[in-house]
Amino acid sequence: MALFLLGSCSDSALTDDDTLDFSQLKKSGKEGDERLYSPDAKLPYTGWAKSMHNEEQAEYLAHFKDGVLDGRWTEWREDGEKAQEGTYKAGREDGIWTKWYGNGEKESERNFKDGVEEGTWIEWHENGTKAEERHYEAGKLHGAWVNWDESGKEWQRSTYKNGVEIVE
């Protein structure tokens, strides 16, 4: 039953016969420029790959293009709850990445552009109240960085410009 539900969330890639298990993919190439290949393939792998916690429960599902992560990445806990989801572009995190606590509450939402921190990053306490918010530009802290306790009370605030804290 869990596999059916997850498959419907993932364009049926989990149950598709063309989806390879991560363990079947082989690395090749120079360090830092490695690509993944399906067994006996001459060209880098393009398609879905998965890893399973057990026969019924997916652990990871990811899309590859030309041997590198490219497209959606989804991760589940052993109990079937979604743990993390985001996208890759040419092997680098790109766009919004979201994590969830085991209770289903959102844990964090982070933005990337070509593998570098960009935009607003937010983290929440397990009770759902905001824990932290910070901003990045080109991988460097830029703007306010605010922290709140579990009751929602602000307990720390600092400001950054190009990765350097501004002391007032």
pLDDT of residue 5: 37
pLDDT at 12: 74
- Model pLDDT, residue 11: 52
CA angle 90, 112, 37 (to 5 degrees): 25
Q: What CA–CA distances, in Å, run from 44 to 41, 101, 139, 155?
A: 7, 35, 30, 50
What are the chain's domains?
A: 2-166 (3.90.930.1)
Residue 120: the pLDDT is: 97
The first and second tokens of residue 126, run together, are 């397990």
For the full predicted model, state whether its pTM sits above 0.95. Answer: no
Enclosing H/E stretch for 20:
strand 20-21
What tens digit of pLDDT does each residue of 7-26 get?
334 557 877 778 999 999 99
Strand, coil or helix: what is 57? coil
Low-confidence ranges of the chain (pLDDT < 70): 1-11
